[in-house]
Amino acid sequence: MIKRILKILLIMLVSIISMAVLFVITLQIFEYRPKDETVLLIENNLEAIDSNYVNPANSIKIMTFNIGYASLSETEDFVMDGGEKGRMDDKASVEANLEGIGNIITDSNANIYLLQEIDYKSSRSYNTLQYDYISNLVNMPVTLGYNYRCIFVPFPFDITQMMGTVNSGIVTATEYYVEDATRIQLPGSFSWPLRLANLKRCAVITRLPILGTDQYLVIINVHLSAYDDGTMRIQEIEALQSMMQSEYELGNYVIVGGDFNQTFPNAYTEKEDGTYEYLFELKDPSFWQAFGLDDEWFVENDWQFANDVT
């Protein structure tokens, strides 16, 4: 009897291990492997005529907005912020959030939108077509650069909260003619096997011709790493600095926006012990912190920060 029980337990153990190995192999086979540079499709683009170019005589309003795949509203208990949930309770809640996000975008009346965490047929957001919704809403040239594609994300470990299939990225929309848009893969990644179901961070570079010149307004949309030890964010910032400087040396004007997952210089003070005092108090010091962005390179090279801490 004991031998039979042990045999059954052994079979169960081998089965579980086999399924786990098979799952990891499946993730490996279907891992998202973007190229270093990918030319992106520009939808709803305008004609390449003077009236659709950036006019240097006019001011430009830019909105940057991480919409949290329309699922991270104040009612949520997000697992990466110390909670337990990875998705909302139902599709109707996601759609209600998406409608509210749409109202915010419309009311801003911006000329350029830099959006992050836009889902498209992702299980975690109930397969809502968020990119299509945004594209139709703004009705202007728009492009999507994927930074998170995975056949199945097995997290959180509660089966009812697992993110499942994820297709998500960053979106740039502009009322101007777009000459080209390129997805640039950023350096750094989590170790194997964590990287198989993790983000592949990128920058989306969009070039807008400036009226009466051979120069461009270069818009760089980013969503930098979070929940790492800071190493990847430093690598990403260095790569971003290189992009900015290269475009500037070509004679172009450069604007970078997005979710940096770091705190801008005027929103924190670094104390003598190397810790940070934030303008906005953390709910719990044990939670993940968006450490201060080192502004030394930016100041030395005459780049300017534009952020509102009110």
Q: What token pair was written down for 53? A: 């170019």
- Kindly state whether residue 294 falls inside one of the protein's structural domains: no
12 and 158 both lie in a single domain: no
Model confidence at 236, pLDDT cuts 50, 70, 90, reads: very high
- Kindly state whether residue 187 falls inside one of the protein's structural domains: yes
74 and 100 both lie in a single domain: yes
36 and 24 both lie in a single domain: no
11 and 46 both lie in a single domain: no
What distance in Å separates the CA atoms of residue 202 and residue 170, rounded to the nearest whole number?
A: 9
CB atoms within 10 A of CB 130: 30
- Kindly state whether residue 4 falls inside one of the protein's structural domains: yes
Split into its structural domains, the chain has a count of: 2
Percent of the chain whose pLDDT exceeds 70: 100
Its domain, for residue 14, covers 1-30
What distance in Å separates the CA atoms of residue 148 and residue 168, rounded to the nearest whole number?
A: 5
- Kindly state whether residue 242 falls inside one of the protein's structural domains: yes
132 and 182 both lie in a single domain: yes
Above 90 in pLDDT, residue 272? no
Q: Which residues contact 6 (CB under 8 A, 6 or more apart)?
A: none
CATH of residue 200: 3.60.10
164 and 225 both lie in a single domain: yes
Above 90 in pLDDT, residue 137? yes
Burial class from Cβ neighbours inside 10 Å (0-12, 13-18, 19+) for residue 207 reads: middle
More confident of the two residues 239 and 1: 239
Above 90 in pLDDT, residue 307? no
Tens-digit pLDDT profile for residues 198-229:
999 999 999 999 999 999 999 999 999 988 77
6 and 63 both lie in a single domain: no
Domain boundary among 261, 277, 292: 261
What distance in Å separates the CA atoms of residue 85 and residue 81, rounded to the nearest whole number?
A: 10
- Kindly state whether residue 221 falls inside one of the protein's structural domains: yes
- Kindly state whether residue 97 falls inside one of the protein's structural domains: yes
Tens-digit pLDDT profile for residues 151-162:
999 888 888 888
Above 80 in pLDDT, residue 46? yes
pLDDT at residue 227 in the model: 82
pLDDT at residue 261 in the model: 92
More confident of the two residues 310 and 141: 141
Above 80 in pLDDT, residue 7? no
Question: What does pLDDT average to over the chain?
Answer: 91
- Kindly state whether residue 285 falls inside one of the protein's structural domains: no
Does the pTM surpass 0.75? The reply is yes
Task: Tell me whether strands 202-209 and 180-185 are parallel, antiparallel or unpaired.
Answer: antiparallel
pLDDT at residue 15 in the model: 81
Above 90 in pLDDT, residue 309? no
- Kindly state whether residue 249 falls inside one of the protein's structural domains: yes
83 and 213 both lie in a single domain: yes
127 and 101 both lie in a single domain: yes
112 and 1 both lie in a single domain: no
10 and 147 both lie in a single domain: no
Domain boundary among 242, 261, 280: 261
Q: Of 6-20, 87-101, 129-143, 205-219, which gets the smallest average pLDDT?
A: 6-20
